[in-house]
C-alpha cells in the first residue's frame, strides 16, 4: 500500500474514533452506559444524572453523587440524611450502682473511659445491645444495653445481664464474660454472644480464658 493510502486509512480511523466519542442527540455515549458498570444512559429531559461510582474526570479521579433536578436520588428522596443517629458519646460511660463505685473504679483504673470503644450491636424490641471488647485496660463491662426509644443520646451503658456477669481482668473468672466481640439476636429471641476470652488485645494480648459461645434467653 502506498504512503498516501496509509495516511488516508489513518485519517479514516481517527475520524471513526471521534464519531464514537461524540454523544448522540439523546445524550448517549458508549462511555456512559451500563456496560461499564458505573453509568447509565444520560437522561433526555436535561436533568443531571446520578453517577454512583468513581470515574476519571478531567484533572483527576472524582466520585460523583449529584442531586437530580427532581430530587429523587437515593440519599435525598425523603429530604432526610441517609443515616439517623440513635446514640452518640464523646466518651463512653457505664451505669454504676453508685457515684462512689464509679469514682472508685476510675481511681483504681478498672474504668478508663477513653479506652472503651463499641463494636457489635443488635436490637431486640425496646433494647439495643452493644459490645465493648477489652482491647485496652479499663473496660469494666463488655456487654451492655440501652433503652429504646431514645430519651438521651448519651446515656451510660447498662451492663447486661448485670454487673455480676462480668469478670475483672486481673482475676479472670472464665464462667463470666471476658471480652465480647460479636452478638446476634435470632428468631427465637435468643442473644448469641461470642466471647474471645482475651484482654488487652491492642497493648499486651493475653488469652486469660478459652473462647466461648453463650446464648441468653431475652424473655428472662
pLDDT of residue 31: 34
Confidence of residue 220 (pLDDT cuts 50, 70, 90): confident
Separation between Cα atoms, residue 142 and residue 148, nearest integer Å: 20
Quickly tell me which residue has 454523544 as its cell: 23
**Dihedral, CA of residue 4, residue 10, residue 13 and residue 15, to nearest 10:** -80
pLDDT (average), residues 29-52: 38
Separation between Cα atoms, residue 167 and residue 100, nearest integer Å: 20
pLDDT of residue 109: 96
Quickly tell me which residue has 484482654 as its cell: 199
The three grid cell numbers given for residue 28, joined into one nine-digit string: 448517549
Helix, strand, coil shares of the chain as percentages rounded to 5? 15, 25, 60
- Nearest Cα to Cα of residue 134 among 192, 220, 206: 206
The three grid cell numbers given for residue 44, joined into one nine-digit string: 433526555
List, for residues 115-130, the tens digit of each pLDDT value. Answer: 999 999 999 999 999 9
Using the predicted structure, report yes or no on whether residue 67 has a pLDDT greater than 80: no
Using the predicted structure, report yes or no on whether residue 36 has a pLDDT greater than 60: no
56 and 72 Cβ atoms separated by less than 8 Å: no
List, for residues 141-161, the tens digit of each pLDDT value. Answer: 999 999 999 888 899 999 999
The overall pTM is greater than 0.75 = no
Separation between Cα atoms, residue 128 and residue 219, nearest integer Å: 14
Alpha helices in 136-178 (DSSP H): none
pLDDT (average), residues 181-205: 96
Amino acid at each position: 500500500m502506498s504512503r498516501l493510502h496509509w495516511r488516508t486509512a489513518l485519517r479514516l480511523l481517527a475520524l471513526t474514533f471521534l464519531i464514537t466519542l461524540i454523544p448522540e442527540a439523546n445524550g448517549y455515549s458508549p462511555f456512559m452506559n451500563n456496560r461499564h458498570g458505573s453509568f447509565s444512559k444520560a437522561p433526555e429531559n436535561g436533568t443531571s444524572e446520578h453517577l454512583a461510582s468513581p470515574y476519571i474526570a478531567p484533572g483527576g479521579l472524582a466520585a460523583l453523587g449529584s442531586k437530580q433536578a427532581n430530587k429523587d436520588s437515593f440519599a435525598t428522596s425523603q429530604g432526610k440524611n441517609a443515616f439517623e443517629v440513635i446514640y452518640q458519646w464523646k466518651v463512653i460511660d457505664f451505669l454504676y450502682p453508685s457515684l462512689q463505685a464509679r469514682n472508685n473504679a476510675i481511681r483504681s483504673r478498672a474504668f478508663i473511659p477513653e479506652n472503651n470503644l463499641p463494636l457489635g450491636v443488635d436490637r431486640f424490641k425496646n433494647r439495643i445491645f452493644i459490645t465493648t471488647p477489652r482491647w485496652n485496660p479499663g473496660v469494666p463491662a463488655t456487654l451492655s444495653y440501652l433503652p429504646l426509644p431514645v430519651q438521651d443520646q448519651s446515656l451510660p451503658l447498662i451492663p447486661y445481664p448485670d454487673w455480676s456477669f462480668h469478670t475483672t481482668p486481673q482475676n479472670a473468672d472464665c464462667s463470666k464474660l471476658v471480652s465480647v466481640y460479636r452478638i446476634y439476636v435470632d428468631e427465637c429471641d435468643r442473644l448469641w454472644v461470642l466471647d474471645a476470652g482475651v484482654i488487652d488485645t491492642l497493648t499486651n494480648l493475653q488469652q486469660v480464658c478459652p473462647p466461648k459461645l453463650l446464648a441468653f434467653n431475652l424473655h428472662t
